[in-house]
Structure 1
Amino acid sequence: MDALRWLIDIFNADIPVGGSSLLVREVVGNIFGLASAVGGMRRKVWAWPVGIVGNLLLLTVFLGSIFDTGHAANLLGQAGRQIMFIAVSVYGYRRWKQARDGAGTAISPRWATPRERGALAVILVLGTVALTPLFRILGSYEPVWADAWTFVGSLLATYGMAKGWVEFWLIWVAVDVVGVPLLFSAGYFATAFMYLFYGCFTLVGFFVWWRARNHERALVQTAMPDPITRRTP
């Protein structure tokens, strides 16, 4: 019983900040999320299970009134996307594990095709429009469209990461531009600051994957040159 009580106390612990407080598990969940992002930038398979741990912690945070966290605001898009992250992370883990090379690096980055890019844009817009009234009925925090946008954008970005599309980093930027103001207004300050940092981090990740894409393409062209362009002596 003492051990159980200790775990409950840790689960509900908070950090005083000015006139308010931050949940320890909100901070820890975002630290796991950052570690997962670093692993993703390095294309390491362990990025997926590490991210799942953070998702489970943050799920309890965003359902504030249900888990009695002191937050009256329920961000259903933020909470729902943690469940979505877990589901897509299982897919991403299996895909990256199958593609992993001897050095432990998984997936070769590539650009999405024009059709894939168009599909991403259409799903982002239509998904946001479709989910906004649903989230409003369920009692999500205003502006509800912003919550729906972050949910759909996060789904697409995570799926794009699993597929190895370089553009997935830019989708995260679009998510953060909307998500940071929403989180600040709802009082989730730890996550808002982490998203602000993610916004800068994702730009770095984009250029890292872009360079990796060009580097690996150059290696393939060197190893297997196009027979049309080869010159005979």
Structure 2
Amino acid sequence: MNLIEWLFDAQLHIGTQAILWREIVGNLFGLASALGGMRRKVWAWPVGIAGNLLLFTVFLGAVFGTPNPINLYGQAGRQIMFIVVSIYGWIQWSRARNSPTRVAVTPHWAGNRVRILLGAGMIGGTLVLTPIFTALGSFEPVWADAWIFTGSLLATYGMAKGWTEFWLIWVAVDIVGVPLLVSAGYYASAVLYVFYGVFTLIGFFVWMRVQRRQREAQALLS
């Protein structure tokens, strides 16, 4: 059995529960990507993409014949969305990294107008996607799956733009994501979502501190 076959089929058994190793590995890649994002490292994007590819196969349990035959279309679909938006973010940060400032991204507030649009986007996206995911047969409560998908899209785009508020969107995603994943039997992802929640709060304050230092440096130069 080669490495790819092992990674696709290997399971961790805890009591009567079987957890796919690729669910664990995929989420660890996601956690590493979040760490890279907090440190504003370009490598955060390709590492995240690798995790997205693994998790796409996990959340279509009935399609790929996994031990947990439950489809979370919002969770699976957002992995594709992550890949698309991550390619955009990868390009954006790489360009900035190659600029004279040599900084991948400069954290900054999105502003009140953008915040209103982000809030409206979260609610509107959830309302639009809920009946779509319901028709596809996604796991109940379907609105939670739609909320997670919408929030993930906005947070990833916000990270690419350098908006510090994107960390708070992730917190909103995690609050809904943990109970949904537990009820659907994706325990490894639920546990790592708890870590994500703590980590995203830390990331928010780290980016705020970076902003403060930048303001202080600009004040000294002016």
Give the TM-score range, shorter chain.
Answer: over 0.9
Percent identity (aligned) = 61
1:88 maps to a residue whose letter is V
1:7 CA drift (Å): 3.2
Secondary structure of 1:65 counterpart: helix
Match of 2:36 among 34, 39, 45: 39
1:104 CA drift (Å): 6.2
1:26 is the counterpart of 2:23: yes
Q: Identify the residue that residue 45 of structure 2 maps to in structure 1.
A: 48
1:208 is the counterpart of 2:216: no
Q: Pairwise CA RMSD of aligned residues?
A: 1.4
Match of 1:186 among 164, 184, 191: 184
- The normalised TM-score by structure 1 is 0.92
Counterparts of 1:104 and 1:34 in 2: how far apart (Å)?
Answer: 25
Structure 1 residue runs of 5 or longer lacking an equivalent are 226-233
Structure of greater Rg: 1
Secondary structure of 1:15 counterpart: strand
Q: Identify the residue that residue 109 of structure 1 maps to in structure 2.
A: 107
Counterparts of 1:133 and 1:83 in 2: how far apart (Å)?
Answer: 20
Please tell me whether the aligned partners of residues 44 and 104 of structure 1 are also in contact (alpha carbons under 8 angstroms).
no
Aligned residue-pair number: 221
1:217 CA drift (Å): 1.8
Residues 117-148 of structure 1, C-alpha deviations (whole Å, 9 max, x = no match): 00000010011001000000001000000000
- The normalised TM-score by structure 2 is 0.96
1:15 is the counterpart of 2:12: yes
Structure (1/2) with the larger helix percentage: 2
Counterparts of 1:141 and 1:68 in 2: how far apart (Å)?
Answer: 16
Counterparts of 1:104 and 1:202 in 2: how far apart (Å)?
Answer: 25
Secondary structure of 2:62 counterpart: coil
1:216 CA drift (Å): 1.0
1:219 is the counterpart of 2:217: yes
Counterparts of 1:161 and 1:97 in 2: how far apart (Å)?
Answer: 14
